[in-house]
Amino acid sequence: MWECPQCRRRFANRNQSHACGSHELEPHFAGREPSVRLAFNRFVSLIRELGPVTVLPEKTRIAFQVRMSFAAVVPRKSWLDGHVVLARRYEHPRFTKIDYISPRNLVHHFRIADPAEVDEEVRAWLAEAYAVGEQRHLTQRQRAR
């Protein structure tokens, strides 16, 4: 893992492009409905059940990182917009959009409007995305690049 000498954030790739900064979690929830924070807390709990994770509050989102970032959310007034990174295209009605980044990194966007929507289905997405965050979908040689 490479660590940025300025902001100390760790990355899987040396000199990875990013915006240095130090951001706090709480400002992301200012002016948001309490249900948004509850949904976020449930989301984080599901991720922590999978293993260690770094929660990275950034300027415009809150990212979740193991070796690489595998999920992120953006708290809105009444809901969470978010995404998970999967190593395959997974068509599902709850995904609002799928962005192709590379053959093994497809960003699946979703919206959570009710904390009850952070359910077993989301747990399954997160488990698959967590493995991508660990780069288990890559060979040892690909991870070493």
CATH of the domain at 43: 3.30.1460
User: Which pLDDT score, from 0 to 100, does residue 124 have?
Assistant: 97
User: Which pLDDT score, from 0 to 100, does residue 74 have?
Assistant: 98
- Helix (H) / strand (E) containing 106: strand 105-112
- Give the position of tokens 């100390």: 8
User: Which pLDDT score, from 0 to 100, does residue 18 have?
Assistant: 58
Question: Structure pTM?
Answer: 0.83
Please choose, from the candidates 49, 43, 123, the residue with its C-alpha nearest in 3D space to the C-alpha of residue 81.
Answer: 43
Report angle CA 54, 60, 65 to the nearest 5 degrees: 20
Q: Is residue 5 part of a domain?
A: no
Q: Is residue 128 part of a domain?
A: yes
At 143, the pLDDT band (50, 70, 90 cuts) reads: very low
Q: Is residue 120 part of a domain?
A: yes
Q: Is residue 8 part of a domain?
A: no
Q: Name the residue range of residue 96's domain.
A: 25-144
Count up the domains in the chain and report the number.
1
Q: Is residue 20 part of a domain?
A: no
Q: Is the dihedral of CA 65, 71, 72, 76 positive or negative?
A: negative
- Give the position of tokens 């809901």: 79
Q: Is residue 56 part of a domain?
A: yes
Q: Is residue 60 part of a domain?
A: yes
Average pLDDT over residues 75-98: 97
Q: Is residue 76 part of a domain?
A: yes
